[in-house]
Amino acid sequence: MNYPEVPVGAVLAGAARRWTDRVALHYGDRELTYTALYERACAFAHALREQGIRPGDVVAIHLPNCPQYAIAYYGIQLAGATFTPANPLLPPPDLAAQLADSGAVAIVSWEQASAAVPREGLRFALVTNREQGLDPSVRLPGQDFEEFHAGSPTTPPEVEIDLAGLAHLAYTGGTTGRSKGVMLPHRNVVTNVLQYACLGTGTRPALDDEGGIVLVDQGPPEDYPVRLGESVVVNITPWFHAMGTVGGLNIPLLSGTTSVLHERFDPAAYLADAERFRVTSLGGAPPLYAALLRHPDLDGRDLSSVRSLTSGAAPLAVEMIEALHRRLGSDVVVVEGYGLTEVTMGATQNPTARSAERRQGTVGLPVPDTEVRVVDAEGNPVPTGEPGEVCIRGPQVMTGYKDRPEETAATLRDGWLHSGDIGVLDADGYLRIVDRTKDMLLYKGYNVYPRELEELLFRQDGVVGAAVVGRPDPEVGELAVAFVVAPGRSREDAEAIRETVNAQVLPYKRIREIRLVAEIPVSAAGKVLKRELRELLR
């Protein structure tokens, strides 16, 4: 693909000029059109400039999904500053560590969480809340978000932006340890947005007369039944996560999508709005689909408008894919992708065109201009069909971890990013994720992949959640322990499930214990927090 040499702000600029009065964001009873979102973002950019924010300065957003988030994000981009996202539920010490590590000079924070924001090193801290998101005329004590940019010009500021400069300083999820700052220039973000936007809609990128990005030449309706400017989604993917910023904010805007914002995932509310707004696509991580499938409202809702669903953050169990097809229809396209913060968002995806081949249980093929290979512990490519570490090379790969040269050197080697994920490539280049390297168990020297056992657990009647971790054992290394969500099942049922699964695997892979739990802990992005399960074992 040809990627326009423009900064990230060109995404909203092009979308606003193309989609004008179409609703971009629906939040409660408030609707924000594409034009209004662009004007507010421009005003915010001017206000940042008036406060001395310049290219290279880092501004943090410490909010759940709301109109203010989108306004601030694009305002930061249009001002040429660097955006760093912070989970609004971060404990105060973790938030302080991230702000210090990023060198943030300003922050936009949720009122309920603003007390946790350390003021040291910040020039200013803006505050907003849900009431203001619903009604921008609401004013708050302190440095009010809306007041900050209320009187600023609504045209873009003239700023020279270096495309090699950082658009995002995103932080890793911390599912396996402390978070690291991932440096992502404007070129990376624009590239990854277009790789997925064009694949998803059957288009190619172009620039309008004023340098904004637009999508053109959409493929035929029989392949892409949802046309540009027609898509509607309920968005609960947090924008402070890479999948949210790129896949849940930038990409939908380019295609003229209306996003109905939910601050948190409530299955009943999600299903109600999916029916009410006639959504064309469902999107999220596997825990979202697991919750929808077991919710009593699912069968009573009219979801006939849904044409596709996308999943990321973790592999979608094959049994879950089959259940979704049974409920939504076999013609609904199920698209899994794979990525990580270090590749801006993503590296692979199953094809979205209806006539294309999608391989169930895989995360698809590399996106344009991206290479994927699977290697052994010495870095040598493994034979087709054999597991190894997934390595990625492409224009969306990070430039490195901020102020961590040793960790950067360990992850970026000879131009390849070493993901820490274990995968298998088939003969046609489709990638299947087997597990995380850190999640793999060693039993008497044998590799045991929890993902394989989790797939088998999901196939058992009544199991709606499963995660397998290793319990240290001095004699054999690690024993596989399964945490299972199976409402209404007894310990005797759990033992029967264990025996059924163990009968299908080699002896060294067997589950040694099943623990019934009410829920599996997951991050805001939907990734299972296996470190918390390991803590329970201790």
Using one digit for the tens of pLDDT, what is the confidence trace for 470-479? 888 877 788 9
Global confidence as pTM: 0.86
- 8 A C-beta contact, residue 341 and residue 357: no
Mean of the per-residue pLDDT values for the chain? 92
What is the SS3 assignment for 151-170? CCCCCCCCCCCCCCCEEEEE
Tokens of 195: 């790789």
Domains along the chain with CATH numbers: 440-537 (3.30.300.30)
What's the pLDDT tens digit per position in 57-69? Answer: 999 999 999 999 9
pLDDT band at 53 (very low <50, low <70, confident <90, very high): very high
pLDDT over threshold 60, residue 19: yes
pLDDT digits (tens, 9 = 90+) for 522-536: 876 667 888 889 888
CA atoms within 13 A on the CB side of 465: 25
What distances in angstroms separate CA 172 from CA 98, 183, 371, 463, one per listed residue? Answer: 11, 11, 22, 30
Task: Round the CA-based radius of gyration of the chain to a whole number and report it.
Answer: 23
The pLDDT assigned to 176 comes to 45
Orientation angle between helical segments 9-19 and 186-201, nearest 10 degrees: 40
Share of the chain above pLDDT 70, in %: 98
pLDDT attached to residue 89: 84
Residue bearing tokens 């940042």: 48
Determine contact, residues 181/101, Cβ cutoff 8 Å: yes
- Residue range 195-241, pLDDT digits in tens: 999 999 999 999 999 999 999 999 999 999 999 999 999 999 899 98
H helix or E strand, kind and range, residue 467? strand 465-473
Coil, strand or helix at 432: strand
Residue 175 has pLDDT above 70, yes or no: no
Residue 293 corresponds to which amino acid?
L
Look at residues 315, 340, 417, 313 and name the one whose alpha carbon lies nearest to residue 373: 417
**CA dist., res. 535 & res. 348, Å (int):** 32
DSSP, residue by residue, 193-246: HHHHHHHHHT-EEEE-TTS-EEEE----TTT--S-TT--EEEE-S-TTSHIIII
Least confident range from 171-185, 244-258, 412-426: namely: 171-185
Angstrom distances, CA of residue 410 to CA of 133, 344, 420, 538: 43, 18, 11, 30
pLDDT of residue 314: 67
Query: Cα(221)–Cα(218) distance, rounded to whole angstroms?
Result: 9
Mean of pLDDT values over 326-335: 91
Distance from C-alpha of 57 to C-alpha of 102, rounded to nearest angstrom: 10
Mean pLDDT of 278-306: 91
The pLDDT, as a whole number, for residue 173 is 66
Integer Cα distance of 383 and 417 in angstroms: 19
